[in-house]
Amino acid sequence: MSTAPKTCPISIPELCTSKNSENVPTRLRSARLRSEYRSLATQMMSSTPKNEAFDHGSSPTGKFGRHFAVALGKRTPTSASTTSTPHVIALVGLPARGKTYISKKLSRYLNWIGVDTKVYNLGDYRRKLSHYNSHEIFDNKNEAGLRLRSKICEDSVQDAINWLETEGGEVAVIDATNTTISRRKFLYEKIVIEKGFKLFFVESICDDEKIINANIRTVKISSPDYVHFSEDQVVEDFRKRIKHYECIYETIDEEMEPNLSFMKIFNAGEKVLVHKHEGHIQSRVVYYLMNIKITPRTIYLTRHGESNHNVMRKIGGDAILTENGVNYSIQIGKYINSLNIENLSVWTSWMRRTIQTAKHINGTHERWKTLNELDVGICDGMTYEEIMEHYPNDFRARDEDKYRYRYPRGESYEDLV
């Protein structure tokens, strides 16, 4: 169990144009790249003839440098590289608890890290089969509504299973309420017992009326269910929908359902409880959702103020602010402080210029090495004119592909991703 404070961060990153050398980087921040590096090195060593000289990348023309540059271009992993067993993530919770938001954000994150993920939203299934008139379809005394919702659940789960089995999917996210023990038992038997897949429940619990009201008024009024409803009608109808679910709601209980793997998120991240999570995928899900915020926030991004190196057109280094830079730090401090933001968190790099820029902002200050400027390697402290003179090939390579360009003995943007 852990708690996480609600914060509104201001980030002052080190922004710098990046470059790409064919040299093997001396420092790789990405664990994924380090894995590729080790794997590629093993393959190349095993495939190199014994009588052939092997250059480990100290020279831009070395064979390892060329092969490594090719490997970096292959960013999409195969299924076997991420998970051997298909996963289903099933949301749990009353309406207006952020389940759809969590589903979409989680899917986007998993796909971004290379895990093929798809969301199955039961509301979309319902709208294909039936026109929404009122909350009464969610009344448990409404037998026709019960049959419809049971069919929707069965259809969505079967579609998810088919996708995982036949189309190479890795993680299916079931975006539904799943508020009863019997419904979760159905999912467990269908997914775990019958198919041998892994199942992980994510329950969103919220009793903070401010969060619930904000969710209804900012999200539900734009729902396809309420196209012809006024805002007041939306709030009234949705409140009644919630009441129907509250009558049958059974929160996940480790004593009643000891076989389930799950996590509970309380009041949009105020507290998190995790039970029996297993494997790489579920660990990534837990870590991500522990840090996600489902309530609206504002994030302010700013460059550091003008530094001495900026004036001299030099890159890298740990220069301090000029007089103009100091004035900027004072003005941005006045502006942010005038907003009176509660629980303000200010993030900077470890560079003096960013710390000085944030000096006058009231709030909790945190320093992150991940916000440091790109490591420019042997070009540290040089101007672009000096780089063009001493390393013309590198200068041209940077202009051609800033994303993949790596400074000699430094970093590229791709390394950080």
List phi, psi (to 5°) of 400. -75, -35
Q: Is 150 annotated as a binding residue?
A: no
Distance CA 94, CA 292 (A): 19
Distance CA 178, CA 328 (A): 52
Query: What are the tokens at 133?
Result: 């008139």
The alpha-helical segments, DSSP class H, found in 173-319 are 181-188, 209-218, 231-246, 279-290, 308-311
CA 390, chain centre distance (Å): 40
Q: Say which DSSP state 377 is in.
A: G
Nearest residue to 199 via CA among 259, 135, 243: 259
Q: Count of residues for the chain? A: 417
| DSSP helix/strand/coil, 60 | coil
What are the E-state strand segments in 145-221?
171-175, 198-205
Distance CA 248, CA 146 (A): 13
DSSP secondary structure string for all residues of 41-77: HHHHHHHS-TTS----SSSTTSHHHHHHHHHHT--PP
Distance CA 180, CA 245 (A): 9
Nearest residue to 22 via CA among 412, 413, 381: 412
Distance CA 210, CA 41 (A): 55
User: What is the residue whose two structure tokens read 């001495």?
Assistant: 308
**Is 373 a known active-site residue?**
yes
Q: Is 308 annotated as a binding residue?
A: yes
User: What is the residue whose two structure tokens read 């900012």?
Assistant: 218
Q: Is 107 annotated as a binding residue?
A: no
Q: In what order do the strands lie in the sheet with 198-205?
A: 2-3, 271-275, 261-266, 198-205, 87-92, 171-175, 117-121
Distance CA 188, CA 174 (A): 13
Q: Is 87 annotated as a binding residue?
A: no
The residue from 36, 203, 304, 414 that is catalytic is: 304
Q: Is 309 annotated as a binding residue?
A: yes
Q: Is 140 annotated as a binding residue?
A: no
**Is 304 a known active-site residue?**
yes
The residue from 22, 36, 203, 373 that is catalytic is: 373
Distance CA 310, CA 261 (A): 53
- Other beta carbons within 10 Å of 406: 28
Q: Is 306 annotated as a binding residue?
A: yes
Q: Is 353 annotated as a binding residue?
A: yes
DSSP secondary structure string for all residues of 316-339: SS-PPB-HHHHHHHHHHHHHHHHT
Q: Is 404 annotated as a binding residue?
A: no
Binding residues for substrate: 303-310, 353
Catalytic residues: 304, 373
